[in-house]
Structure 1
Amino acid sequence: MSYENLSGRTAVVTGAASGIGEAVALQLAAQGARVALLARRADRLDAVVEKIRADGGRALAVTADVTDDASVAAARELVHETFGAVDLVVNNAGVMLPNPVGAGRLDEWQRMLDTNVTGVLRIIRAFTADLVATATEGRTADLVNVSSIGAHVPFPDYAVYGATKAAVTYLSQSLRTEFGPRDVRVTNIEPGLTDTELKTHVDSAELAGQLDGMFDAIGGLAAAEVADVVAYVTSRPRHVNLRQIVVLPTRQA
């Protein structure tokens, strides 16, 4: 799809080395936005940036870790030096590490909280001033948070992951009371089963098998299909906020 009024926007996309983040970066760049791609894997980022540039787009690879304050601050400085102020932020970085709560996997809990919740907050803190200034100037400003259907629908052994995504969904809802009056849009997107690298993080053979079975039975969304939703919502007229979108494969009831 073509969304012409994304041309000239300046976007930051986290978790942009693969999956939904990569697809969002490719989609926004194809529509004429300047895109800063943030992720930890420099080699993967460079490959995506080269792909964008080969297609005539403008992109910047920013090796950054959303769980680290100094890394996020340095990322912001590099983005500002290269592209100036940002008017579109896509909080997509996330990890999914399912196990029974009874397994007591504190390491997994902490990693999910640091990435999926505090990481989102760090990025918001880094770019709020940009978004507010953009809106004050009468231009479109967007914050998009990628949550999950797991924020609402409980899946066995995904309790902590689901809780982190419920936190993102609530955060998006609450932030509208702060950002909306300042003309900054906040959109929360909750994908269902989507074919990304998240499933490769699952260290339980049983749970990995269950996930594969769901893909076989339901069929997952492609990352590019979720990215199209991001492009659609951020290309609406600036007074229109599509605030909450659940996007599922049709067979995922």
Structure 2
Amino acid sequence: MPYEGSYQGAYESLAGRTAVVTGAASGIGEAVAVLLAAQGARVALLARRGERLDALAGKIRADGGQALAVVADVTDDASVEAAAARVHEAYGTVDLVVNSAGVMLPNPVGAGRIDEWQRMLDTNVTGVLRVIRAFTGDLVDAAARGRAADLVNISSVGAHVAFPNYAVYGATKAALTYLSQSLRTEFGPRDVRVTNIEPGLTETELKSHIDNAELAGQLEGMFAELGGLASEEIADVVAYVASRPRRVNLRQVVVLPTRQV
């Protein structure tokens, strides 16, 4: 479905901020990067697909924004560390980190797809932790200097709503939701905000990764019946929470299509 929203100029406080967005090659990550850049933030685009990142960075620059394409694989320690070094060299201290990289690979647990389980754990949980490790010092330093500092994690409503055959995916997102909650006890006293966003049905590439034809058909049926959110609508939520006064932390936001309960 086409996205009809327009938020140009709505988040002036984002101007001058320095953001890292993972999963920026498509979907929610791409939409977040475009919106933050449009509002005046310098945005480091992290993902595995270099050609997609280069094209997106070029589009952002053509529209007057600032963007840095950084090829990175969040499942690899050295890759994340190298990406962080490149971001620091180009942009200095980061004050906004958006963890959007993720994979959704549903199948019955009885199918024993350890390959899928490992990929989801490595990306959705450990990958997030790698990125947090790489930029925690930046966020704490920015906050100590009196600037807004935000860690935004994109989880899923599947963290607390059970769907048949999505047990492992839901477990990884439940881990991310709990991680966000726990991190607030560490980061909040140092004035770093942590926001956990849980989207419902959203139009992204995730559904194209499903290799089970029956489950893919079921998901398409849900989109047809309930309607899916646009990635730009989730990006709008990210921009909103990051643009509040620095003393305000919107800690958890569940975003659903109106028909999804």
Query: Secondary structure of the equivalent of 1:24?
Result: helix
Q: Work out the CA distance in 1 between the residues paired with 2:226 and 2:58.
A: 34
2:57 paired residue number: 49
Alignment of 1:1-253 (within 5 A): 1=7, 2-253=10-261
Query: Secondary structure of the equivalent of 2:19?
Result: strand
| 1:217 partner amino acid | E
Displacement after TM superposition at 1:26 (Å)? 0.1
1:198-225 Cα shifts (integer Å, max 9, x gaps) = 0000000000000000000000000000
Identical aligned pairs, as a percentage? 81
| 1:230 partner amino acid | V
Query: Secondary structure of the equivalent of 1:161?
Result: helix
Displacement after TM superposition at 1:82 (Å)? 0.5
Unaligned runs of 5+ in 2: 1-6
Query: Secondary structure of the equivalent of 1:166?
Result: helix
Query: Secondary structure of the equivalent of 2:70?
Result: strand
Unaligned runs of 5+ in 1: none
Q: Work out the CA distance in 2 between the residues paired with 1:222 and 1:51.
A: 19
Number of corresponding residues: 253
Q: Work out the CA distance in 2 between the residues paired with 1:47 and 1:181.
A: 39
Query: Secondary structure of the equivalent of 2:254?
Result: strand
Q: Work out the CA distance in 1 between the residues paired with 2:138 and 2:13.
A: 19
Displacement after TM superposition at 1:29 (Å)? 0.1
Which structure 1 residue ranges, 4+ long, deviate > 3 Å from structure 2?
none
Q: Work out the CA distance in 2 between the residues paired with 1:3 and 1:64.
A: 28
TM-score (norm 2): 0.97
Q: Work out the CA distance in 1 between the residues paired with 2:182 and 2:234.
A: 23
Displacement after TM superposition at 1:54 (Å)? 0.6
Query: Secondary structure of the equivalent of 1:133?
Result: helix
How well do the aligned residues superpose, as a CA RMSD in angstroms?
0.3
Q: Work out the CA distance in 2 between the residues paired with 1:17 and 1:34.
A: 16
Q: Work out the CA distance in 1 between the residues paired with 2:201 and 2:240.
A: 20
